[in-house]
Amino acid sequence: MTGRAEFASWLEGTNDLTSRFVGSAGIADLVNVAGGLPDASLFPSERLAEIAAQAIRDRPEVALGYAPTGGLPELREAIAARYRARGVNVGASNVLVTASGTQALDLVGKVLIEPGRRIACDFPTYAGAMDAFRPREPRYQDMDLSRPDRLAGAMARADLVYMIPNFSNPTGKLVDLPTRRALVEAAHETDTWLIEDDPYGALYYDGPALPGLLELSAEGCDAPYDGPVIHMGSLSKQLVPGLRVGWVIAAPDLIAKLVSAKQATDLCSNALSQLLTLAALEEGMIEEMHPKAIALYRERRTALAEAMERHISDWFDWEIPVGGMFIWARAKDPSLDVDRLVDAGVERGVLVGPGNVFDPLGLSGPALRLNFTLNDAEKLDRGMARLALALRDIAAGARMPEATAAE
């Protein structure tokens, strides 16, 4: 046999979203409302720099050495302690430290998905999760959360459920408490793995946090957690994304399998990042940054909603989310070509997220995911004004009904 082997067939299903985002990043003065990026001015960089220098100097064998695959024992324990404080009886054997939420998704895919297995999601859902699962060739089914009485039936037909109960990416939707309870009950009743992907759980802008699926699943249970919820947490949206630290909290037998899978992925997560995370947890850096992040992002959420009202309300509808990083804008015209709009937006100097990549089953109409955490009010306004111009451009090209908007 001669010639180079073909690329693996699962690659045919990939979308070019990330490369489009990256390719556009170099365009001068582009307003990027496509990504899910935090504002770097919030990062406690000075303190992290001090701790990093000290860790490398004082503990080089740890900071610059290999770490255990499951994570530094003291970090696993510190993460477990945080969940115990929320009433979940977990120890270090329930915790896996990962290279952030993305690796947690990849590892769970490696361990639990085989070709053809069914994943139930509340669509539209996070494209990055589907990207992580894609090499395992799963099938997807929609999980209609508006019918709690049907959740057990839907779960019985699925091998795995994937949920983002706190401010879903892309929709910003918050799953209410009765639905959370119904999801957890159904997962226990049918004994189905239930992923709770929770990077946005700290970003509540308008009220107290609801209990998570893991907390509800562990309620009233004194024994160490062994239930069906696979909880994924991450530093990315509550401290800094660049350390690439996240974690999985789950039943110890699943954690052991994830450790086996991780061995062949990266042997261990970055030890220096883990030491920085440990120090951040011990010093309360997350708690210190939290009120600043909430105040800034709450203000920007309002600023984006107001800019949308001023510039694109003739074309889109939306709800104002009570947390997270995104507003999901649904097009009024069901024939709007979102991919053309994204390209037209780049021409006008704004980058928006096309909704279709989050909706592989094509269940929702044309939509955009708009981020409000990265840019200040003035930039958000400029971005929406440019989006209105892009909408007019494609309306002119496609003879769509003309709407009134001006920069």
Ligand X SMILES: Cc1ncc(COP(=O)(O)O)c(C=O)c1O
Binding-site ranges for ligand X (CB under 6 A): 36, 100-102, 126, 128, 164, 169, 197, 199, 234, 236, 241, 246
Say how far residue 349 (Cα) sits from the centre of its chain. 25
Asked whether the beta carbons of 373 and 325 are under 8 A apart, the reply is yes
C-alpha to C-alpha distance for 39 and 42, rounded to whole angstroms:
6
* Torsions phi, psi for 276 (to 5 deg): -65, -40
Nearer Cβ to ligand X (83/126): 126
Taking the complex as a whole, the smallest distance from the CB of residue 3 to ligand X amounts, in Å, to 36
Taking the complex as a whole, the smallest distance from the CB of residue 246 to ligand X amounts, in Å, to 5
Residue number with the smallest Cβ distance to ligand X: 101
Nearer Cβ to ligand X (130/271): 130
Taking the complex as a whole, the smallest distance from the CB of residue 172 to ligand X amounts, in Å, to 11
By C-alpha distance, which of 123, 129, 127 is closest to 103? 129
Asked whether the beta carbons of 374 and 30 are under 8 A apart, the reply is no
Nearer Cβ to ligand X (228/246): 246
One-letter-per-residue 3-state SS of 185-241: HHHHHHCCEEEEECCCCCCECCCCCCCCHHHHHHCCCCCCCCCCEEEEEECCCCCCC
Nearer Cβ to ligand X (69/100): 100
Burial of 203 (0-12, 13-18, 19+ CB in 10 A): buried
Nearer Cβ to ligand X (126/318): 126
Nearer Cβ to ligand X (36/212): 36
Taking the complex as a whole, the smallest distance from the CB of residue 191 to ligand X amounts, in Å, to 24
**Is-cis flag, bond preceding 148, omega within 30?**
no
Element (H, E) at 101: helix 100-112
Taking the complex as a whole, the smallest distance from the CB of residue 97 to ligand X amounts, in Å, to 12
Taking the complex as a whole, the smallest distance from the CB of residue 130 to ligand X amounts, in Å, to 11
